[in-house]
Amino acid sequence: MAYLLGKKSLSRRTLLRGAGTALALPLLDAMLPAGISYAASGLAPKPRLGCVYFPHGATMSRWTPKTSGKDFQFSECLQPLEHLREKINVISNLSHPLAYGPGGATGNHNRSAAAFLSGAKAQFGVQPFLGVTLDQVVAQHLGQETPLPSLELMIEEASVSCGDGLSCAYRNTLSWQGETSPLPMQNNPQAVFEHLFGDGATTSQRDARRTQSLSLLDSVTSQIKTLDKKLSGEDRSHLDHYLTDIREIERRIKQAASHITADIAVPDKPAGIPADVETHIKLMYDLQVLAWQAEITRISTFMMACELSGAVYPKSGVRDSFHTLSHHSNNEDNKARFALINRYHVSLFSYFLDKLDAVKEADGTLLDNALVLYGSGMSDGNSHNHDPLPVVLAGRAAGKLEGNRHLVFPEKTPMSNLLVSMLDKLDISQNSFGDSTGHLTI
């Protein structure tokens, strides 16, 4: 292969090409010139940004840690993150005041998702109007060197009727390139996989690939063998883990697609969506890990559920509908059961962080080089309020962020103050963002 001839190091942009695929490689030591550190080589990993949203708020009495500062005591809802303490910050007393507005409960839900990454107010009318979101500001700075500037994912189908005079765009996406430019979010893992690694852009192409049972890795096997001979034992192990993860995702997507009856035509229903919601969520997390690892993109947003979601999570131990249970009527038993759903979602977020932390990258891990926001645009789903918001920051932002802290700010601190401060950690200088009133020390 041409990239191996006459070179002492492997190009960071090496691609393995197969039938309809172009497989990017993770950062390997073989890409580093001999005797040169990552920092000196210019190959030091760029930070990644992830934003994960859950609707309906939380049982805040069981979410907020009882102690603040370093070495805080993890709460009931957040306990699944405790083993990652050194890479976790819990942020308390943030508010999204622009999520309040006229209309009924539906409008409050729609504005919650809209304000989360924008710090802007959803406007009434058929034409959606909001503002650029945090992830898209970062994409303008960190996403222009990667094949995809950003990746937008969700679990549920987009809503088509949203009420209260507000466009469904406010509920159906977290990402806005501009005031009138909401970005669609994809909920089909198979379509996401092919978007990342292949060219199955149309339904007919995807159907053809399923029929042929064509594997991405099978199409580049000979190139992988050639490359493998040139790598150190540590690099081979690193590459093997990466390829194993790809193979496992292929297997799970194929398994999900196998439940579709071939002789029933459902042209508008995408294939490859697992029936089990936990399997679906984990697949979407796994795809983000792969996309970041191969630097197909450095920015992703993920909506674990839409506002007003009626999803049920049997593995949480609770059989009630997500949105219905958020209306707990201040009944302590209901609040306790809602907290179990909160904790369950946190455990799935922990799964994502563990996957990131298991990926070696340069002198640390993918989680060390990431800044991951996890939270909701609503506080108490029963009263539809927007402060204090449940928010966690994970990762070390390529050495720019400490961990093991519960940071308690003054009551009703605009969440946009956190968003603009996250830009600081990514070396993106901006005086303000959304409705921010200043920067936070994080």
Please report, for the domain that includes residue 317, its CATH number: 3.40.720.10
State both tokens at 252: 């799970």
Q: How far apart are CA 130 and CA 268, in angstroms?
A: 29
Supply the pLDDT for residue 419.
Answer: 98
Percentage of residues in the chain with pLDDT exceeding 70? 81
* 206 in the same domain as 169: no
Q: Which of 272, 301, 323 is the last residue of a domain?
A: 272
* 78 in the same domain as 104: yes
* 217 in the same domain as 84: no
* 410 in the same domain as 390: yes
* 136 in the same domain as 281: yes
For 405, the domain range is 49-187+275-442
Q: How many CA atoms lie within 13 A of 440 on its CB side?
A: 23
Q: How far apart are CA 132 and CA 147, in angstroms?
A: 21
Q: What is the CA radius of gyration of the chain?
A: 22
Supply the pLDDT for residue 162.
Answer: 84
* 173 in the same domain as 114: yes
Q: Provide the domain count of the chain.
A: 2
- Cis omega (within 30 of 0) for bond into 388: yes
Query: What's the residue count for the chain?
Result: 442
* 313 in the same domain as 286: yes
Q: How far apart are CA 49 and CA 135, in angstroms?
A: 7
Supply the pLDDT for residue 208.
Answer: 55
Backbone angles phi, psi at 57, to 5 degrees: 70, -155
Those residues whose C-beta lies under 8 Å from the C-beta of residue 169, and which sit 6 or more positions away, are: 128, 130, 182
pLDDT digits (tens, 9 = 90+) for 380-396: 999 999 999 999 999 99
Q: How far apart are CA 82 and CA 31, in angstroms?
A: 35
Residues of the chain predicted below pLDDT 50: 1-8, 200-201, 206, 210-213, 259-270
Q: Which of 219, 252, 272 is the last residue of a domain?
A: 272
Helix axes 415-425 and 134-142, enclosed angle (nearest 10): 10
Q: What own/partner pairs with CB < 8 Å and gap ≥ 24 does 293-296 have?
A: 293/26, 293/242, 293/359, 293/361, 293/366, 294/23, 294/24, 294/25, 294/26, 294/242, 295/24, 295/27, 295/46, 295/146, 296/24, 296/146, 296/147, 296/148, 296/151, 296/196, 296/197
* 281 in the same domain as 265: no
Q: Which of 208, 242, 272 is the last residue of a domain?
A: 272
Angle among Cα 415, 429, 366 to the nearest 5 degrees reads: 75
Q: How far apart are CA 169 and CA 358, in angstroms?
A: 35
* 251 in the same domain as 377: no
Q: Are 119 and 435 in contact (CB under 8 A)?
A: yes
3-state SS of 200-230? Answer: CCCHHHHHHHHHHCCCCCHHHHHHHHHHHCC
- pTM of the prediction? 0.83
* 229 in the same domain as 120: no
* 410 in the same domain as 262: no
* 291 in the same domain as 258: no
Supply the pLDDT for residue 110.
Answer: 94
